[in-house]
Chains A and B, each alone.
Chain A
Amino acid sequence: MTTALTDLPVLLKGIPSGAWVAISEEKNVVMAYGPDAQEVLREAKERGEAHPLILRVPDEAVAMFF
């Protein structure tokens, strides 16, 4: 099962706001998370995920205007 955008709220549950998260889309699991994106990517790759999906947990769920 590969990760879909609709999976993200479940995958990100319990992860602190503001954290960067690396996800294995193939395994549909969080591989690493933390405050530093580069460190999170490095950790995910060390755990065998060569091409993780990376994103940041929003500080809070709010309406957005760019």
Chain B
Amino acid sequence: MPKVAYPFTKLSIPPNDPYPKGQIAYRPLALATLTAPNGESLRCVVWLDTGADACVFPLVMAIALKLDVLSLPKGTTGGVGTATNVTYYADITIDIGNGISFPAYAGFTEGMNIHGIGLLGQAGFFSMYDVAFSHKKSVFVIEAP
């Protein structure tokens, strides 16, 4: 079974009032291929987010995958700074390489458009893989069962 280490992505944040010297953010990001049941696929950036209840992506990605958005089941979801988002759900496959590929009932919401990346959350991703985060070593390790 694969056990794969990925480096955290280091990003510089310019100085601002609370951080006059700026900040360095270390983010658990990966590149992913999303594949819809119709065979359409899309490459995107994903962020491993233990705080997300499920995997969720920008709504524009559902359109790019040629999913019939208006026919998908939908519900309301929330996040920091937003009371509710309409989120549409579809079965897709998410592949982040190195043998880490899994089916997910993923959400697609306009609220993620502004971020332009996906979140790998509890249902679908963390429910399937053990993940160890080491901020000190600046790596995260994904282990298949």
Is B128 positioned at the interface, with any CB of A under 8 Å from its CB?
Answer: no
Residues of B within 8 A of A51 (CB): 33, 41-43
Find out whether the CB atom of A66 lies under 8 angstroms from the CB atom of B63. no
Find out whether the CB atom of B29 lies under 8 angstroms from the CB atom of A5. yes
The count of A-to-B residue pairs whose CB atoms sit within 8 angstroms is: 74
In the complex, which range does the number of interface residues on chain B fall in?
Answer: 35 or more
Interface of B is mostly: strand
Find out whether the CB atom of B41 lies under 8 angstroms from the CB atom of A53. no
In the complex, A63→B43 CA distance in Å? 24
Find out whether the CB atom of A55 lies under 8 angstroms from the CB atom of B116. yes
- Number of A interface residues in the complex (CB < 8 A): 26
In the complex, A5→B117 CA distance in Å? 12
**Residue of B30, B33, B44 with highest tally of chain A CB at under 10 A:** B44
In the complex, A51→B11 CA distance in Å? 26
Which chain A residue has the least Cβ–Cβ distance from B23?
A: A63
- The 8 A CB mask of B48-63 against A (1 = contact, 0 = none) is 0101100000101101
Residues on B close to A: CB < 8 A? 9-14, 16, 23, 25, 27, 29-31, 33, 41-45, 47, 49, 51-52, 58, 60-61, 63-64, 79-80, 113-117, 119
